Amino acid sequence: MIDVKEHIYHDDPNVGHPDVRTELKDAAYFFLGNGHIQAAVQAAPGGDGTPLGLLIMDPERLRKKREALTMDERTGLDRTAVRIAEGGRSHRAEAGAFTAAWAEGRSVPTVVVRWRTLVVSVEEYFFCPDVSSPVLARDVVIANRTKRRLGLRFETGVRARRLEKSFSLDPGASKTISLKYVLSPARDEVVPAFSRKTAPDKSAAAFWTGLTRLSFGHKLLDRYFEASRAQLPAMISGTGRLDGAVWQYNREWLRDQAVIALAMAMLGAHDRARTMFHRLIDKFVTDEGDTVDLAPPFPQVGILPWTWAEIVILFVHHILGVRPEELGLRIRPRLLSGLKGARATLPFQNGRLELEIGKAPRGAAPRFRSDTVVLESGPADALLAYPGRDFKVEARVR
């Protein structure tokens, strides 16, 4: 039985610091996580709230944005910003004067923020260095833009915890200051500390580089997929918990979780998908097959992991047409108008599928080729035997 009161949003975003609002002007959020810690880099260039802030959450506890463990009741996320002090003046990333994006060429999802002052340029990198501990890493690279030696002081923190470090930089020199944020679930707090520079470990690199990769040669579509690929796994806790609408719903939602688990399987994150399915069956389905909770009558619409899942399903199942069946793998591509082709690598059973899709030459018949057994082949699709190893498929479609 649904209690309607549970599904009415009762948090007033006009109360408290502006950072508690999810809809800051022109804001973007970049989500990171490994199942043990969850973070979001807030980029708010429109002048509302902290321009560059860091939210850290416990993925096992579904809460509002104002309840993030780095949110201060009075100052919001301001203390999480990096400040560089020089000559009696303190500088930070200001609204409209920095860029934030997903870093390219990294083995794990990494957010890079770039900003500068008259005397220094700053690059900040945020990432989870492993998949086994509640730790977020932050590397801050500071470069001297002047022709004189600078005496600088680095400042940042979380709530009442402050970190400061003084240092000098010769002309043209740079220095990397590394931080780690450790989540303590038992104490329900985040502890920041200086640390040695840490590279992602092999297990983290293996997990993220092992997920499905695809490209349509279309900048916008490829960007949608990469953002979904980077953020959907970050939203799921180690036990398979997930907020149906981040910071808004604060509850699990059977329908959404099932779709997201399906998308995780399509990404090749089979262990996490399995964990989610087991949790759904054990916790949300009765022995008779009834669902314990239905879709809420007043669903909160916010940052929806459902959207990332739908993108993954659209691209993998519908456009690439990768459709596992009982007897084999069916490939039924449906390229969108204007697309010339696609390339993808998908984890599959005990191997990987290398898929290339292109347009058949004018006047030529569609065809499918593979280094595994082709059970059926027609103008629209092909059914391939499961090889239990790496295999390749080439499709030419109308």
pLDDT tens across 267-302, in order? Answer: 999 999 999 999 999 988 888 887 776 555 455 556
Looking at residue 41, what is its pLDDT?
98
Who contacts 274 (Cβ-Cβ below 8 Å, separation ≥6)? none
Q: What is the mean pLDDT of residues 69-98?
A: 95
**Is 111 among the domain residues?**
yes
Residue 144 pLDDT > 70, yes or no?
Answer: yes
Residue 251 pLDDT > 70, yes or no?
Answer: yes
Nearest-5° Cα angle at 177, 172 to 178: 145
Does residue 16 share a domain with residue 144? yes
Instruction: In whole angstroms, give the CA distance from residue 97 to residue 367.
Output: 51
Question: Measured in Å, how far apart are the chain's first and last C-alpha atoms?
Answer: 50
Does residue 188 share a domain with residue 131? yes
**Is 104 among the domain residues?**
yes
* Domain limits for position 55: 11-201
Residue 57 pLDDT > 50, yes or no?
Answer: yes
Residue tagged 């560059």 (tokens): 52
β pairing state of 341-348 and 351-359: antiparallel
**Is 395 among the domain residues?**
yes
Does residue 147 share a domain with residue 26? yes
Confidence of residue 1 (pLDDT cuts 50, 70, 90): very low
Does residue 227 share a domain with residue 154? no
Does residue 136 share a domain with residue 69? yes
Q: What six digits make up the tokens of 232?
A: 């959907």
Residue 392 pLDDT > 60, yes or no?
Answer: yes
Last residue of a domain, one of 314, 347, 364: 314
Last residue of a domain, one of 153, 177, 201: 201
Last residue of a domain, one of 180, 201, 222: 201
**Is 253 among the domain residues?**
yes
Looking at residue 155, what is its pLDDT?
98
Instruction: In whole angstroms, give the CA distance from residue 121 to residue 114.
Output: 8
Looking at residue 295, what is its pLDDT?
52
Residue type, 251: R
**Is 4 among the domain residues?**
no
Does residue 215 share a domain with residue 276? yes
What one-character-per-residue DSSP string does 241-261 give? ---SSBTTT-S--HHHHHHHH
Residue 333 pLDDT > 60, yes or no?
Answer: yes
* Among 46-50, 107-111, 156-160, 229-233, the least confident range: 46-50
Does residue 181 share a domain with residue 62? yes
**Is 5 among the domain residues?**
no
Does residue 214 share a domain with residue 197? no
Residue 2 pLDDT > 70, yes or no?
Answer: no
Does residue 126 share a domain with residue 195? yes
Q: How many domains does the chain have?
A: 3
Confidence of residue 349 (pLDDT cuts 50, 70, 90): confident
Does residue 93 share a domain with residue 175? yes
